[in-house]
Structure 1
Amino acid sequence: MSAVKRLFSEGFRVFFLSAGLFAVLAMVLWTGWLAFQAAGGLADLPVTMAPQHWHAHEMIFGYGGAALAGFFLTAVPNWTGGKAAPHRFIALAAGLWLAGRLALWFSGALPLPVVAVADLAFAPLLAVQLLMQLLRRPRGPQLLFVAMLALFWLSNLLVHLDWLGLTASAGQGLRGGLLVLAGMIVVMGGRLTPGFTRNAMVASGREDRLPVNPRPLAAGSVTAAIAVPVACLAGLPETLTGAVALLAGALALCRVALWRGGWTWRRPILWTLHLSYALNALGLVLLGLAGLGFGSEIAALHVLAIGGVGGMTLAVMSRASLGHSGRALVAPRGVVLAYALLPFAAALRWIGSAVPQVYEPAVLASGVLWVMAFTLYLAELWLVWWQPRLPRAPVGAPR
Structure 2
Amino acid sequence: MGSASSAISPTLRGAFRPFFLGAALLAVVALPLWAAVFSGANVPAPAGDALAWHRHEMIFGFAGAAVIGFMLTAIANWTGRKLLAGWSVAALAALWLAVRVAFLFGEPGMAMVAEGTLFLVVAGFAAREINASGNRNMPIALAVALVGAASVADLAVIARLIADNDTGWRAGLALIAVLMSLIGGRIIPAFTRNWLVKVGKAPPHPVMPTKPDLVIVAATALLLGLWAFGVAPPLLGWGLMALGAAHLWRLSRWQGWRTLADPLVAVLHLAYLWLPVALLLLGSGVIDPALPRSAGVHALGAGGAGLLILAVMSRASLGHTGRPLAAGPMLTAAYALVLVGAVVRVIAAAGYWAGIAPIHLSATLWAGGFALFLVLYWPILTRAHISDPAR
TM over 0.5: yes
Would the aligned equivalents of 2:315 and 2:325 in 1 still touch at CA under 8 Å?
A: yes
Q: Read off the aligned partner of 1:28 and give its amino acid letter.
A: P
Q: Does 1:167 align with 2:162?
A: yes
Q: Distance in 2 between matches of 1:165 and 1:57?
A: 15
Q: Read off the aligned partner of 1:222 and give its amino acid letter.
A: V
Residue of structure 1 in register with 2:10 after alignment: 6
Q: Distance in 2 between matches of 1:265 and 1:209?
A: 17
Residue of structure 1 in register with 2:30 after alignment: 26
Secondary structure at the residue paired with 2:378?
helix
Residue of structure 1 in register with 2:45 after alignment: 45
Q: Does 1:124 align with 2:131?
A: no
CA-atom RMSD, angstroms? 2.1
| Structure 1 residues 336-385: Cα deviation after superposition (integer angstroms, max 9, x where no partner) | 11111222111111121222652311111100101110011111111110
Residue 57 and residue 170 in structure 1: after superposition, are their counterparts in 2 closer, same or farther (change >3 A)?
A: farther
How much has 1:120 moved relative to structure 2?
2.1
Secondary structure at the residue paired with 2:13?
coil
Equivalent of 2:334 in 330, 338, 356 = 338
Q: Where does structure 1 differ by over 6 angstroms across 4 or more consecutive aligned residues?
A: 1-4
Alignment gaps of 5+ in structure 1:
393-399
Residue 170 and residue 361 in structure 1: after superposition, are their counterparts in 2 closer, same or farther (change >3 A)?
A: same
Q: Read off the aligned partner of 1:182 and give its amino acid letter.
A: A
Matches within 5 A, 1:42-191: 45-48=45-48, 50-107=49-106, 110=107, 112-140=108-136, 142-191=137-186
Residue of structure 2 in register with 1:317 after alignment: 313
| Structure 1 residues 56-78: Cα deviation after superposition (integer angstroms, max 9, x where no partner) | 10010000111011100110100
How much has 1:235 moved relative to structure 2?
4.2
| Structure 1 residues 138-170: Cα deviation after superposition (integer angstroms, max 9, x where no partner) | 334x11111211221221122122123233354
**Between 91-100 and 218-227, the greater mean CA deviation after superposition:** 218-227
Residue of structure 1 in register with 2:269 after alignment: 274
How much has 1:34 moved relative to structure 2?
2.6
TM-score, length of structure 2 as denominator length: 0.92
Residue of structure 2 in register with 1:249 after alignment: 244
| Structure 1 residues 44-93: Cα deviation after superposition (integer angstroms, max 9, x where no partner) | 62412x11110010010000111011100110100000001131111111
Q: Read off the aligned partner of 1:47 and give its amino acid letter.
A: A
Q: Does 1:221 align with 2:216?
A: yes
Secondary structure at the residue paired with 2:308?
helix
**Between 333-342 and 222-231, the greater mean CA deviation after superposition:** 222-231
Residue of structure 1 in register with 2:350 after alignment: 354
Would the aligned equivalents of 2:167 and 2:229 in 1 still touch at CA under 8 Å?
A: no
**Between 219-228 and 191-200, the greater mean CA deviation after superposition:** 219-228
Residue 13 and residue 373 in structure 1: after superposition, are their counterparts in 2 closer, same or farther (change >3 A)?
A: same
TM-score, length of structure 1 as denominator length: 0.90
Equivalent of 2:373 in 371, 374, 377 = 377
Q: Read off the aligned partner of 2:225 and give its amino acid letter.
A: V
Residue 214 and residue 94 in structure 1: after superposition, are their counterparts in 2 closer, same or farther (change >3 A)?
A: closer
Would the aligned equivalents of 1:73 and 1:130 in 2 still touch at CA under 8 Å?
A: yes
Would the aligned equivalents of 1:56 and 1:174 in 2 still touch at CA under 8 Å?
A: yes
Secondary structure at the residue paired with 1:358?
coil
Q: Percent identity?
A: 33
Secondary structure at the residue paired with 1:365?
helix
Would the aligned equivalents of 2:174 and 2:228 in 1 still touch at CA under 8 Å?
A: no
Q: Read off the aligned partner of 1:365 and give its amino acid letter.
A: L
How much has 1:214 moved relative to structure 2?
5.9
Q: Does 1:206 align with 2:201?
A: yes
Would the aligned equivalents of 1:348 and 1:362 in 2 still touch at CA under 8 Å?
A: yes
Q: How many residues align?
A: 383
